[in-house]
Amino acid sequence: NLKYTLKCVSLAVFYHIKNRDRTRPPRTLLIFDEKEHPLTREEVPPHYADYTPDHKIIYKFIKTLFHAAQLTAECAIITLIYLERVLHYADLDLHPSNWKRILLGAILLASKVWDDQAVWNVDYCQILRDISVEDMNELERVYLEQLQFNINVASSTYAQYYFDLRSLAEDNGLSFPMNTRL
Amino acid sequence: MENEKEGFPMTALREIRILQLLNHENVINLVEVCRSKERGSIFLVFDFCEHDLAGLLCCEEVRFSLQEIKSIMQQLFNALFFIHGVRILNRDMKSSNILITRSGVLKLGDFGLARAMSKGQVQRYTNRVITLWYRPPELFLGERNYATPIDMWGAGCIMCEMWTRRPIMQGDSEQKQISLISNLCGSITPEVWPGVESLELYCKLQLPSDQKRRIRERLRHYVRDMHAIDLIDKLLVLDPKKRLDSDGALNHDFFWEDPMPSQSDLAHTLSKVRRSMFVMHTSTARPGGGAGVPGAGGGAVAGNTNHFHDRVF
């Protein structure tokens, strides 16, 4: 069920980017910009900010992180909650230029607060080889500040997201196994 | 305060998460989290509490009536009933973590060692928690699948202190502490505690044998109220499965027989205390104050509520 949860979360992220308001410049922060803070040493393509990524690319990005850090399905749902919370609190648009780093920050925080076997920031530098621990720490700091340290998730919120993800899966023809634990 | 490799300390993040979840009159309220720009420290800002229980008990001028003791203990069990109901273990019960406002409202503080209980199968939580003097026998025996009774043991120790005015079992090592416990509560045997023999350290520790349970007779020198003695006797039970839980404690006759708990009496008594009573600056009589175990104080959170200076009202 981890696989299906990750697919659903990817879809939710995909729709955020796809349905963004294109009539105005994106509201974003420099710390989330991939050109300013590249995740890999490969050159960022010139049109990195123009094209909505396919949801398979988003899934691949999340899957790589979740598998390498051995995170759980519950952690994926918390990731989405933190991501939407930071967009809401900081008034940001999820956008081709910033989705990876906003997602990375949410995954980092979700695992640290909720997973029994949490991952240290430096461990992500093993997974994303070209990123520095200072950059990870700064990303985390900004995240916490933008969230105003509001990192608790009420069980009702968690349940709400769980069911919303299920309907999203159904609407998109994904099957969601019944036994995902609340 | 930041460890470069870990990033923002995980223990602090979890403490913040737990504090945000705990919203109750008798649990300390986290107002906000601030960060200082220059030094990178973070501060947890709490509601102001004038006193802590350890400090008040050190101060001889402060005398509590039975109604007042009942009010303090009732509020403490209310706090435990609430946190245990949302599946949080405090794991650091001690009188210096019991804060009391000038108006007689108790606030359970310091969730730096707290954790959420996981559901389902057998757990392997860390065993190195709780200040030595308040640590229950199952932890000395190596239990890692523990639960809410660990906090109830500490509550029993604290309740005794309401009369003795000092922590009742002040061991300076784990071995010494388990001897003190056996001396008061009787020998640890499979007869009084079925299954104890399967705990990891049962054979490795030197457990005093042939000790009788002496709680009631020892307490008689301090405590007159029979209900109080009975409640303490049911809290300081060796076998965690038989130890009274917070609901049982709140329903105990101690709280429902005259004189009834009175928070207004408590407020009146405290209104006469002119200084802030925190154990860290009232006490020289408590050697080692919190005889904590090295490495147990996980949460390196600045801005602890204890860090206030004397203030005159």
d(CA A3, CA B99): 47
pLDDT at B302: 35
Q: What is the mean pLDDT of chain B?
A: 87
Task: Report CB contact under 8 Å: A137, B7.
Answer: yes
B103-112 mean pLDDT: 95
Q: Which residue of A has its CA nearest to B14?
A: A113
Task: Report CB contact under 8 Å: B4, A122.
Answer: yes
Q: How confident is the model at residue B312 (pLDDT cuts 50, 70, 90)?
A: very low
Cβ contacts of B40 within 8 Å, gap of 6 or more = B1, B2
Q: Kindly report the nearest CA distance between residue B139 and chain A, in angstroms.
A: 20
Collect all residues of chain B within an 8 Å Cβ-Cβ radius of residue A152: 17, 20-21
Collect all residues of chain B within an 8 Å Cβ-Cβ radius of residue A134: 4
- Cβ atoms within 10 Å, residue B300: 15
d(CA B141, CA B149): 15
Q: Kindly report the nearest CA distance between residue B48 and chain A, in angstroms.
A: 20
Q: What is the pLDDT along chain A (182 residues), one digit of tens a residue?
A: 899 999 999 999 999 999 999 898 889 998 999 888 888 888 888 788 888 999 999 999 999 999 999 999 999 999 999 999 999 999 999 999 999 999 999 999 999 998 877 788 888 888 888 889 999 999 999 999 999 999 999 999 999 999 999 999 999 888 656 555 54
Q: B35 and chain A: CB distance < 8 Å anywhere?
A: yes
Is pLDDT of B93 > 70?
yes
Residue pLDDT, tens place only, B246-286: 999 999 999 999 999 999 999 999 999 888 877 765 544 44
Task: Report CB contact under 8 Å: B10, A118.
Answer: yes
Nearest to B6 among A116, A121, A150 (CB): A121
ipTM of the shown complex: 0.84
Nearest to A120 among B7, B16, B20 (CB): B7
How would you class B40 by CB atoms within 10 Å of its CB: exposed for 0-12, middle for 13-18, buried for 19 or more? Answer: exposed
Is pLDDT of B90 > 50?
yes
d(CA B110, CA B175): 26
pLDDT at B274: 81
Cβ contacts of B86 within 8 Å, gap of 6 or more = B21, B22
Q: Kindly report the nearest CA distance between residue B252 and chain A, in angstroms.
A: 32
Q: How confident is the model at residue B303 (pLDDT cuts 50, 70, 90)?
A: very low
- Encoded tokens for B288: 């080692």
Q: Are A177 and A4 in contact (CB under 8 A)?
A: yes
B293 or A153, which is more confident? A153
Q: Kindly report the nearest CA distance between residue A19 and chain B, in angstroms.
A: 32
Is pLDDT of B305 > 60?
no
d(CA B151, CA B156): 9
**Angle made by CA atoms B82, B88, B94, in degrees to the nearest 5:** 85
% of chain B exceeding 90 in pLDDT: 72
d(CA A105, CA A147): 11
Q: How confident is the model at residue B125 (pLDDT cuts 50, 70, 90)?
A: confident
Is pLDDT of B150 > 70?
yes
Q: What domains sit in chain B, N to C, each tagged with a CATH number? A: 49-270 (1.10.510.10)
Is pLDDT of B311 > 50?
no
Collect all residues of chain A within an 8 Å Cβ-Cβ radius of residue B2: 137
φ/ψ of residue B58, rounded to 5: -75, -20
Where are the strands (E) in B36-94, listed by range? Answer: 42-46, 51-52, 88-89
Q: Is the peptide bond before B259 cis (omega within 30 degrees of 0)?
A: yes
- Pick among B10, B27, B29, B41 to test the A interface (most A CBs inside 10 A): B10
pLDDT at B294: 33
Collect all residues of chain A within an 8 Å Cβ-Cβ radius of residue B16: 149, 151
Is pLDDT of B53 > 70?
yes
Q: How confident is the model at residue B2 (pLDDT cuts 50, 70, 90)?
A: low
Q: Please, how many CA atoms are within 13 Å of residue A59, restricted to the half-sphere of its CB? A: 11
Pairing of strands B42-46, B106-108: unpaired
How would you class B196 by CB atoms within 10 Å of its CB: exposed for 0-12, middle for 13-18, buried for 19 or more? Answer: buried
pLDDT at A140: 94
pLDDT at B133: 95
Q: Are B92 and B253 in contact (CB under 8 A)?
A: no
Residue pLDDT, tens place only, B203-235: 999 899 999 999 999 999 999 999 999 999 999
